[in-house]
Amino acid sequence: MQSVFQAALRSWSIPPVATFALILTALVYLRGWIDLRRAGSTELPPWRAVTFLVGLLSLWVALASPLDTFSGFVLTAHMLQHMLLMMVAPPLILLGAPLIPIVRGLPRFAAREFAGPFLNWPLANRIGTALTNPICALALMGAVMFAWHTPKLYELALGSSSWHEVEHACFFLTSIIFWWPVVQPWPSRAQWPRWAMVPYLFVGDLQNTILSAILVFSDQVLYPSYVLTPRLFGLSAQADQAAAGAIMWVLGGFAYVFPAVVIAVHCLSKRPGVVPTRNRERAPVDKSPSFRSKFPWLADFLRPRIQGRTAEMVWFVVVFVVTGLCFSFLIATSSDDDDQALRLWKQSGPFSVAILAPPGDLQAGPTSFGILVQDRNTQEVLLDSTVDLSARPAVAVGAPPPSVRATHEDSENKLLQAAELDLPAAGDWTVNIALSRNAESADLSLPLRVVKRESGLGDLWPYFLFPGFGMVLFGAYVRRHHEPTGSPMEQHVSS
């Protein structure tokens, strides 16, 4: 039998939308990075591409690994997830100098007509300059970090997968803003002298220390959800909170202090009056025979009949439609085990059983249930127990749904067993859970209210999202061509 630790390590909850978005971002960046390297750019050595990809990978790990799966059960896992979102992924992504490579990697029409003009839009420049001002960035980071760790907002994020995603987006975006003055990615310009980043980082570390000290030294559990949920790894809710605060204190302190020391050493090692010079060696140019020179007849056959800006526009529309349909399909069809609430936690026989299901009144139709079985005395997770679910309505609606057996394979959290039970009609239902392990057995029942499934657009709303965004882009394109163009950034992007 596999151990609880092995099962926990297998509990990956891969988010399809975020995974697709991160893969697409990596491909666009690499396309632009390769293009710039071929053009002879010396500002993007290979290590920048590596750090950018590692940053995207760390962001994906934060969203897909067991840290996300167990964030609702273990505060320590949730805190490690926040560390990746705030102190690992953002600086690594910024070290990759992503701005120009991503714009350069877009279809040429999109770079020239949308990305370039947006980056040169005076209002966008003013907002970007204001947000990346160190004082604003520091205040924004502290406000978001403390606000989301207040019990009310933290409980909101724990109780809703949508709000949980909003919390993660706030942490990641404000951390990008915070680390921007520290990394100062090319081609941006610093607003403060380099040495000022040392006290800037120490103030950020002070904010982190205050919040982590509150978690470590608090004499009560700040987040009631961790008291009301089963304990999985032998830690009490109070000890789990203290461990999470200690992790935040130590790892967060290192994340702030280490770059501060590096910057301080770099500033002190500069000799006055000496201006450092960059190695202006150009990237190697590929002189191998081109595809056209090798196969002129095939190149002529494949040459597009629509050329110039019309071809660029057609290519952009095709890419936009395909990408939009992919995103819409993934959003409409993705399901999330985070959208389950604890519906029953009861001791029966030798077992302690927790049953999870979607919160609120259930809609008629297939419904997912998660069952956690633990030893009543030791709270050890019993992975080899057998769980059968069946349902009966208060008023007969024909043949009752058949019994289904829960399995670990159907659950993202491999410590839980999951099953999908069909509740075909609205009304009052009772779900029966039959447990057995070796010679021991127990039975539980869970009353539920089932309502009529809502009709309407339902899961079709994502398919209306991208056409709306496309109309916005079309309006921007029409308006722009009534105004003069040719800003320096556009020329740099399309060159």
C-alpha dihedral over 204, 205, 211, 212, to 10 degrees?
Answer: 150
Confidence of residue 149 (pLDDT cuts 50, 70, 90): very high
pTM metric for this prediction: 0.85
From 209, 240, 269, the end of a domain falls on 269
In a domain, 482, yes or no: no
Q: How far apart, in whole angstroms, are the C-alpha atoms of residue 376 and residue 162? A: 33
d(CA 311, CA 5): 55
Among 451, 473, 489, the domain-final residue is 451
260 and 348 fall within a common domain: no
Per the domain annotation, does 433 fall within a domain?
yes
- Domains in the chain, number: 2
Same domain, 170 and 263: yes
87-116, pLDDT tens digit by residue? 999 999 999 999 999 999 999 888 888 888
In a domain, 11, yes or no: yes
- Would you give the DSSP letter of residue 459? G
Q: Are strands 365-375 and 427-437 parallel, antiparallel or unpaired?
A: unpaired
pLDDT digits (tens, 9 = 90+) for 410-464: 888 899 999 998 888 888 889 999 999 988 999 999 999 899 877 655 567 778 8
Report the CATH number at residue 426: 2.60.40.10
Helix-, strand-, coil-residue percentages of the chain, each rounded to 5? 55, 15, 30
| Range with the poorest average pLDDT among 68-77, 326-335, 422-431, 458-467 | 458-467
| Together in a domain, 251 and 358 | no
Last residue of a domain, one of 269, 300, 315: 269
How far apart are the C-alpha atoms of 239 and 245, rounded to whole Å? 10
Domain span at residue 428? 341-451
Q: Is 158 found in the same domain as 47?
A: yes
Q: How much is the pLDDT for 423?
A: 86
Domain contains 463: no
**Is residue 363 classed as helix, strand or coil in its secondary structure?**
strand
Lowest mean pLDDT of 18-32, 122-136, 323-337, name the range: 323-337
Confidence of residue 328 (pLDDT cuts 50, 70, 90): confident
Q: Is residue 422 part of a domain?
A: yes
Together in a domain, 265 and 413: no
Residues 107, 234 share a domain: yes
pLDDT for 13 equals 86
